[in-house]
Structure 1
Amino acid sequence: MRRKGRHEEHENLERWLVSYADFITLLFAFFVVMYSISSVNEGKYKVLSETLNTAFSTTTKQPGYIERSADPIQLGTITQSVDGAELPIAPDTRPSSPDVVDTGGGGSAGDDKAQLQGVADRIERELAPYIQDDLIQLKRHESWIEVEMKSGLLFPSGRADLSVEVTPMLEKLSDIFKSVKNTIQVEGHTDNKPINTREFPSNWELSAARAASVVHQLMRNGIEPHRMAAIGYGEHHPMQSNDTEEGRYRNRRVTIKLQSKSADKTSAVVTPTPPAAPR
């Protein structure tokens, strides 16, 4: 009897495709999960951000909390929160002057004047060489002290640019003025010789620019800007007659006036408007 031969099974050479497909599927799922984790929900993020801002910017009213009107011109209503109820209280009608700072002498007029004279004594000691050369004059008053500087010391003729030589002197003055909080008024003066340039159509502009140059230098030296005012008087406040060269020399000057607290009645001084330049 003839024996039938055994049939050999065919070997599948493409089984690796199944494993490869499974690997690709898992890799795709992995990147989908990673993307979903890294993606930020902008809507939820915005809601969370606004909630935190509201929570931290809102002031919780505690018992005894006083709320004042934000309008600085009108007094407004002042209320006090007591056990959750808003009760009106009488406003403080005492006059306040935030621009006038206590000079540290106890608040009395006598202490203020004494401190002002102490500043004058220090100026005389530290600027003695300039005073002896008649480049600076110190004037005293019970309500103010005034440092008068000749324009020839500060500026070239017809200019408002400070000379380099005057910088050490203004630095010494600034160090002295830092010891007090009084207001400082810088005034520019000229003689009656007319000036008509593109930069300075008249003596008004020249005197105001010179006063402003001194103010800027004092500010660079550390003096607070809110304490100072720059004023230009032109030739209209002469000390002597302009008929002589000596008189004109005396009239060309810049003065720095340190006012006492009692004399400081206004917070600002308006510079006069210069007249139209002659054509």
Structure 2
Amino acid sequence: MAGDAKKLQPIIIKRVKKGGHAAHGGAWKIAYADFVTAMMAFFLLMWLLGSTTEGDKKGIADYFASPLKVAMFGGSGSGDASHIIKGGGQDLTRQTGQVKAGDVESPRKTINLKALKEEQRRAERVRLQQLKDKVEKIIADNPKIAALGGQIRLDMTREGLRIQIVDENNRPMFDSGSAVVKPYMRELLQELGYVLSEVPNRLTLEGHTDAQPFSGGERGYSNWELSADRANASRRELLAGGLPDARVLRVQGLASSKLLETQDPKNPINRRISIIVMNRDAEDAVLKNLTDDEDAPADAAPPAASQAPAQAPPQASSSAPVSR
């Protein structure tokens, strides 16, 4: 019986239900996405309003106030008036707002070249006047050079600042018929070379003599060769003072063709060295002449040399006059 009771006993199955995490909701993600979208639209609207002109704003407002009227009859905000459909232009900002590159040609800026060149000339005149004042101060401050002050002449010419060193009977720059610079003139020329190295202008050196001719100078060594040799000797002293060689544009001997004292051609004042600090116009004219000479035909007659070759002067006879 006991065995039968066991067989009839019911079997009870207990199912244990374990607790789990609650399901995650996704509603906050949707809200956050909506918020970001709204902020992006807001900032985009602010940017568009900030980059639109007042005229465009008025046109847009008029269009949305009465779109059919603006589209049919035109008016502010109607876009390109040349379009076949009024109000259907390329862009509301075409005429009064921001214009795309290439849609409308930008106005060309006109430059007054004449006024610009005149301003450059004025600035150059001021710079050359400052150089003139500086040279005068150097002459006054140096006792040795100050003793030569009467032989130094500074003036402004059409070509620029001209510095002339003239002869005196008791203090010549060179011995008679010689191209060797006197020692007391070397210091002056070297000091000038140092000062002139500080300005960018190019230089012309001219040698001059009086009208006293050499014996047999017409076919031999004459005032032309002597004046060119003296100009070259002065150039070498300027270079010794620090002047760059590239700054010398022209060296020429003019003999007695340009006298200071025309009434007395043999006056010692006619024997001189001229140093011309050229302005831009004079420099351009010289360079143009040099270019024109280079472009001349090969069979054309060569121009007169600006630098005569150095030759030993012949021994002058006692009865023949000797150039100074």
| TM-score under structure 2 length normalisation | 0.46
CA contact (8 A) 1:192 1:242 kept: no
Kindly report structure 1 stretches of 4+ aligned residues shifted beyond 6 Å: none
Q: Which has the higher strand share?
A: 1
Task: Specify every segment of 5 or more residues in structure 2 that has no aligned partner in the other structure, as ranges.
Answer: 1-118, 291-303, 314-324
Give the superposition deviation at 1:204.
0.4
Q: Give 1:111's aligned residue.
A: 123
Alignment of 1:1-279 (within 5 A): 108-128=120-140, 130=146, 133-141=149-157, 143-151=159-167, 152-196=171-215, 201-228=221-248, 229-241=250-262, 243=264, 248-265=267-284, 266-267=286-287, 271=305
CA contact (8 A) 2:208 2:253 kept: yes
C-alpha separation in 2, matches of 1:189 and 1:254: 6
C-alpha separation in 2, matches of 1:187 and 1:202: 16
Aligned Cα RMSD in Å?
Answer: 3.0
Name the % identity.
24
CA contact (8 A) 2:190 2:242 kept: no
Give the superposition deviation at 1:221.
2.2
C-alpha separation in 1, matches of 2:264 and 2:123: 43
What amino acid is the match of 1:203?
A: N
Give the superposition deviation at 1:158.
1.2
| CA pair 165-207 structure 1, distance change in 2 beyond 3 A | same
Which has the higher Rg, Structure 1 or Structure 2? Answer: 2
C-alpha separation in 2, matches of 1:263 and 1:222: 23
CA contact (8 A) 2:223 2:256 kept: yes
Which range is displaced more, 203-212 or 140-149? 140-149
What amino acid is the match of 1:144?
A: G
CA contact (8 A) 1:113 1:142 kept: no
| TM-score under structure 1 length normalisation | 0.53
CA contact (8 A) 1:191 1:242 kept: no
| CA pair 242-141 structure 1, distance change in 2 beyond 3 A | closer
Q: Give 1:35's aligned residue.
A: none
Count of residue correspondences: 167
What amino acid is the match of 1:210?
A: R
C-alpha separation in 2, matches of 1:205 and 1:156: 15
Give the superposition deviation at 1:262.
3.0
| CA pair 171-273 structure 1, distance change in 2 beyond 3 A | closer
SS at match of 2:150: coil
CA contact (8 A) 1:149 1:254 kept: yes
Q: Give 1:44's aligned residue.
A: none
Task: Specify every segment of 5 or more residues in structure 1 that has no aligned partner in the other structure, as ranges.
Answer: 1-106
What amino acid is the match of 1:149?
A: I
